Structure formats: C-alpha cells, structure tokens
Amino acid sequence: MTDPEQARSATPPDSGEEGEAIKAVPLRHPWRALIAVVLVLALAVFILDAAQREDYGWADVGKYIFDKRISQAALVTLQLTVYSMLIAIVLGLLLAIMRLSPNPVVKSVAWLYLWIFRGTPVYVQLVFWGIVALIYPVLTLGVPFMTPWVTLPNDVFHNLFITAVIGLALNEAAYMSEIVRAGLLSVDEGQEEASKALAMSWGQTMRYIVVPQAMKIIIPPTGNEVISMLKTTSLVAAIPLSIDLYGVSRGISAVTFTPVPLLIVASIWYLLFTSVLMVGQHFIEKRFSRGTGRRKEDKPTTGGDPAAFTGSHAGNGPTTAALTNAPAGNEAGGKG
Amino acid sequence: MTGMTMVHADRVSKSFGTNTVLRSISLSVDAGEVLCIVGPSGSGKSTFLRCINHLERVDAGRLSVEGQLVGYREKGGRLYELKPKEAAFQRREIGMVFQRFNLFPHLTAVENIIQAPMRVKRMSKAKATARAVELMERVGLGDKGDYYPAHLSGGQQQRVAIARALAMDPKLMLFDEPTSALDPELVGEVLDVMKGLAKSGMTMIVVTHEMGFAREVADSLVFMDGGVVVESGDPRQVLTDPQHERTKAFLSKVL
C-alpha cells in the first residue's frame, strides 16, 4: 500500500535519540473477566455438588482405587496397549514401505489391507477375532486343495489375551501405516538424493537419513495413537476378554451393585496412564526435533526469521515441523 | 594425472517420457580439468550432470567415468543395468554438490560429513571426525562443526556440503548450480572454496550461471540449449566471441 520510498524516509536512519515511550490506557476486556468468573463459579458448584452426591460413592472410590484386582487389571490394560502398539508400529512401517513400493501388486495389497482394517469398526473386528477359531479350526501348510503337509490346531486364538493383542494390533497397523507414510513422504527428496550421491545404500539412507527425519512427523500422531489405544483396549470385552481395567471394574460392580464408583476408579487409572504418556511424548518429541531448535550451547545472536526457530517447541503439529523442514527454512536461520 | 580422460560422453541422450532433454551430447573432460556448463534453464545441463553419477539413467549413447561405463555393465556385446549396490560403488569416487545444499538437517555439520565415510567406507568414527574437522577448516568453517544446518547461512551450508562431498575423497566433483540459491553477498565465499579446489587439481564439472567464475577458473566451457551442446571451447573465447547465434543471445542477457 505504502510507497516503499516513502516508508523509508518516514523512519530516519539512526536519529540518535529514541522516540517518546507510549503511555496509553490499555484496552479493557470486561467480557473476558465475566466469562472467567462464570466458568470458575460453575466448576465450583459442580465440584461441591459432586462431593456430596450419594451416587458417586466416594467412599467406595477410595476403597477400590488401590484394590489389588484393579491395579492388576490396570497392568493388563498397559500390557495390551504396549504389545499391540509395538506390533502395530512394525506392521505399519512395513505397510507404509509397501505403499511406497514401485511394485503395483505390493502397493495394492497394502492399500487393500488399509481399506478393510480402517474401514470396519474395531469392535466388529474384535468380535471376529474372538470367533475366528471356529471358522478356521485348524491351520494347514501345503499346496492349496491338496492334502496338507502340516496341520496344526488353531490354538492361538484360544488365548484371549493374545487374541486381543492381535485384534488391536492389526486394526492399529492400518492407522500407523498412514502415519509412517506421511512421515516418510514429508522428507525432502533431495535428502535421499544427497545420500545416494554419497554412495549410501537404500537401507542406510532409510535408517540414517530418512527415518530419523520422518520421526519428527511420525511421533506426535503416534503418541496420540498410543493414548487412543490405551482407551480402545476397553473394547476387548467384544472378544470377550474381561481381565482389563474396564472389564474388572465392571466385574466388581456387577457383584457390589456400585457401578458409578467403579467407573470413576477406572477413569482415574486411565487418566493417570494418559497423563504419564503425555509427559513421555513431550520428551520424545524434543529428542527428535534436533536441528530445528536452538543451537546446543550459545543462542543465535542475530535474529533470523523467528519462524525458523519455532522448532524449539516443534512437534506440536506437522505444520511447525513442515515449516522448519522446508529448504527456505534453512536459510532463514541466523547468520551464526 | 593430466591427460587421462575422466569423463567421456559419446552421443548421450535422455528423455523423460516423450520429453527429450538430452540429444546426442558428446564431450570429454580430462583429469584435473574444470569444465563449466552454462545455458538457459531447461537446457538439460543439470540432467546431464545427474547422468554422470547415475542419479538419472542414460537412454542412448555411452557415458563413462575413468573408462568405466556409468550405470551399466557391458558383457558379450550386451548392456546390463547395474544393481543398486554396484551403482553406489561407482558413486564413491564422484562427489556432488546440489543447488539446494541438501544437508541433513537433523545432523550437525560434522555429523553430516562423517556419514558417508562411516557408513560406506566403514571408517571409524574418530578417524572420520578428525577428517571432517580438517575439511571444515579447509572450507573456512573450522569453528562451526557443531552447528546444525538451520543455524548456518546459505553460503556456510553450501561450504559444508562441499566438505561433505570431499570426505569421500572423490576424483571428480559435480556442482549443480551451487550458488543459485544463495543471497548475492554469499556467492563469493562458495566460489572461493571452489576456486581453491580447482587449484588443488580436482576434476570439476560445474553447472553455473556465474560467468565470472567460468572465465577465471574453467579450462573449458560448454554452452547448452535445448538438450544439445551448441558451442564449446576455451571459456574466454566463448564468452567474449561466441560463434553461435543462440550463444550470443544468451550471453547478451546474462553478461
């Protein structure tokens, strides 16, 4: 809008003295204060009310929160989460690489997997895995439609815990593959090219160059997936497995007829775990945003584009990471 | 060393789909020689450079480095495409510097430099690091080894990229418009490093728009347009007295 010539003359270069400090009356925000007061009051009323309400059964909450059965069930929930996530991440990486394969058949198979496992509810899938042993009572190895060489009873699915892990992992792998794929695709092509030009093999390029950079994009959504998985484990009731946190809480309340306190007990445990996971995620994100944050020791003296340094709290979302990833971001950094 | 042919291109052609980007390029670079390739964008000069280390596949003609066919193996009169591993082995002796630097942003300058020696040559980390520090001195960045690329200026990043390529002890260095992405005041520092490298006897092929550099440093100059070599020869000769109309038209715009 303004003529650049004019704008320059408007600010005389180094006039020597600074302009008068501004002492203006700050803008008032009456609505902000009002809304805050209303919210605090509403919350206080709710808490006071809840503390006195019989149905919450706070005494029972206190009684069961550290119940041995509950804490053991919490451990089961944790195990379900960890095992299924680990399998899902490995399988997801495999599927992501398959999706990026130049082989159209390999690519299609990965897509088909994604289509089925992401397109049907996890609850339905868990019910299916619960009865799969009835559909396939024996596992065979051999030439199709001929007498099999090896026949094994399908025992795996008789163990409901393993069934739950398999069911949750296979479903989650579909989501993880998309996350990993997005991460791999976010790495600039020039990185692979530079690595190739340095005579590094495909495997070395992936391991040392592409995947470490993709991690920055992969970790935040994976953290969300872990948290989401922790809660999804409550659906193993569909198998039916009832030794997890929610299953056991329900089991106890079915006997004591106190459903609400036990729901609260289970929720507290879930919240505890998700809170711990959130803290862990924060530190892992920090670790993988190396090179986008501030320099290790001394801070940059000349301020480049501040956007280039938002990486110090990068990992808030792909947008920040993508920003710092762009080649332009490299130059925007301070001149050292 | 001099007198030995480092790169030999014999009627090299390359197309992307129906788009022919290189038509029958023939040229030869001797060991210790500096060749500058100039020309308008889209003339195929970068593609030709990328063919030399097999980042792109040649479709026709023969391209060889030190007498070895690039990307193919000839056996019994037939050509066989090299496996990725074999192609990687050929690239060990060819360093490349990119327009956009392509430093690894998650690694410090020194870590960038030691990757290839450690992974490809299985050099020990201590040895590779000592060499990296030495190379950083050589490109004038002795105190910046622990910096991440994002904290270096464009010119500094490109100098690290040169050091990274040199860490593999290449016999041939390819420069793909190494100063085109730089702010004007940073171009000089990169060109200075390249001049030093040329003086040390490195064989270099430089795709560039820096006519001053070409005039001063290059032993020969090639002008490309539309995928063909339009004119080539002594850089001073070509730049001051171009014979071809297209060369004249191009030079009148850039000089």
In angstroms, the separation between the Cα of residue A195 and the nearest Cα of chain B is 8
On chain A, the residues whose CB falls within 8 A of the CB of B91 are 196-199
Is residue B135 within 8 A of residue B166, CB to CB? The reply is: yes
Q: According to the model, what pLDDT value does residue A227 have?
A: 94
By DSSP bridging, strand B5-16 and strand B60-65 are: antiparallel
Q: How many whole angstroms separate alpha carbon A161 and alpha carbon A81?
A: 11
Q: How confident is the model at residue A293 (pLDDT cuts 50, 70, 90)?
A: low
pLDDT by residue (tens digit) across B52-96?
A: 999 999 999 999 999 999 999 989 889 999 999 999 999 999 999
Interface of A with B in 210-269 (CB under 8 A): 212-213, 216
Q: How many whole angstroms separate alpha carbon A255 and alpha carbon A259?
A: 9
**CB–CB of B101 and A336 under 8 A?**
no
On chain B, the residues whose CB falls within 8 A of the CB of A190 are 98, 100, 102
Q: How many whole angstroms separate alpha carbon B151 and alpha carbon A205?
A: 23
Give the ranges where chain B is alpha helix by DSSP (H). Answer: 45-52, 84-91, 109-119, 125-138, 154-166, 184-199, 211-217, 235-240, 245-254
Q: According to the model, what pLDDT value does residue B53 have?
A: 93
pLDDT by residue (tens digit) across B155-182?
A: 999 999 999 999 999 999 999 999 999 9
Q: Is B126 on the interface with A (CB under 8 A)?
A: no
Average pLDDT of span A177-206: 95
On chain B, the residues whose CB falls within 8 A of the CB of A336 are 144, 147, 151-153, 156
**CB–CB of B168 and A333 under 8 A?**
no
Q: How buried is B59 (Cβ within 10 angstroms: 0-12 exposed, 13-18 middle, 19+ buried)?
A: middle
pLDDT by residue (tens digit) across A255-264?
A: 999 999 999 9
Angle at B150 between CA B55 and CA A211, to 5 degrees: 55
Residue A13 has pLDDT above 80, yes or no: no
Helix (H, G, I), strand (E, B) or coil at B99: coil
**CB–CB of A291 and B148 under 8 A?**
yes
Q: Is A209 on the interface with B (CB under 8 A)?
A: yes
pLDDT by residue (tens digit) across A74-121?
A: 999 999 999 999 999 999 999 999 999 999 999 999 999 999 999 999
**CB–CB of B154 and A331 under 8 A?**
yes
Q: How many whole angstroms separate alpha carbon A43 and alpha carbon A37?
A: 10
Q: According to the model, what pLDDT value does residue A152 have?
A: 82
Q: How many whole angstroms separate alpha carbon B118 and alpha carbon B123?
A: 5
Q: How confident is the model at residue A14 (pLDDT cuts 50, 70, 90)?
A: low
Q: How many whole angstroms separate alpha carbon A318 and alpha carbon A216?
A: 8
How high is the ipTM of this complex? Answer: 0.93
Q: According to the model, what pLDDT value does residue B121 have?
A: 96
In angstroms, the separation between the Cα of residue B96 and the nearest Cα of chain A is 6
Q: How buried is A137 (Cβ within 10 angstroms: 0-12 exposed, 13-18 middle, 19+ buried)?
A: exposed
On chain A, the residues whose CB falls within 8 A of the CB of B152 are 330, 333, 336
On chain A, the residues whose CB falls within 8 A of the CB of B85 are 201
pLDDT by residue (tens digit) across A229-268?
A: 999 999 999 999 999 999 999 999 999 999 999 999 999 9
Average pLDDT of span A138-158: 84
The residues, any chain, with a CB within 8 Å of residue A143's CB and separated by 6 or more, are none
Crossing angle of helices A68-99 and A160-186, in 10° steps, is 40
Q: According to the model, what pLDDT value does residue A11 have?
A: 52
Q: How many whole angstroms separate alpha carbon B75 and alpha carbon B175?
A: 32
Q: What percent of chain A has pLDDT over 70?
A: 82
pTM above 0.80, yes or no: no
Extract the residue ranges of chain B whose pLDDT is less than 70: 1-3
Q: What percent of chain A has pLDDT over 90?
A: 63
More confident residue, A313 or B79: B79
Residue A4 has pLDDT above 80, yes or no: no
Average pLDDT of span A53-70: 93
Q: How many whole angstroms separate alpha carbon B48 and alpha carbon A244?
A: 63
Interface of A with B in 186-205 (CB under 8 A): 188, 190-191, 193-202, 204
- The token pair at B213 is 């550099």
Q: How buried is A306 (Cβ within 10 angstroms: 0-12 exposed, 13-18 middle, 19+ buried)?
A: exposed
Q: Measured between CB atoms, which of A194, A297, A308 is closest to B98? A: A194
Q: How many whole angstroms separate alpha carbon B214 and alpha carbon B220?
A: 8
On chain B, the residues whose CB falls within 8 A of the CB of A199 are 88-89, 91-92, 116, 120, 168
- The token pair at B4 is 């030995």
Pick the closest to residue A101 from A155, A177, A41, A35 (CA basis): A177
On chain A, the residues whose CB falls within 8 A of the CB of B160 are none
Q: How many whole angstroms separate alpha carbon B222 and alpha carbon B12?
A: 15
Q: According to the model, what pLDDT value does residue B254 have?
A: 84
By DSSP bridging, strand A138-141 and strand A150-153 are: antiparallel
Q: Is B142 on the interface with A (CB under 8 A)?
A: no
Number of H helices, E strands in chain B: 9, 12
Q: Is B76 on the interface with A (CB under 8 A)?
A: no
Q: How confident is the model at residue A149 (pLDDT cuts 50, 70, 90)?
A: confident
Q: Measured between CB atoms, which of B101, B106, B119 is closest to A330? A: B101
Q: How many whole angstroms separate alpha carbon A248 and alpha carbon A74?
A: 9
Compare all CA atoms of chain B with the CA of A192 and give the residue at the minimum distance: B102
Helix (H, G, I), strand (E, B) or coil at A198: coil
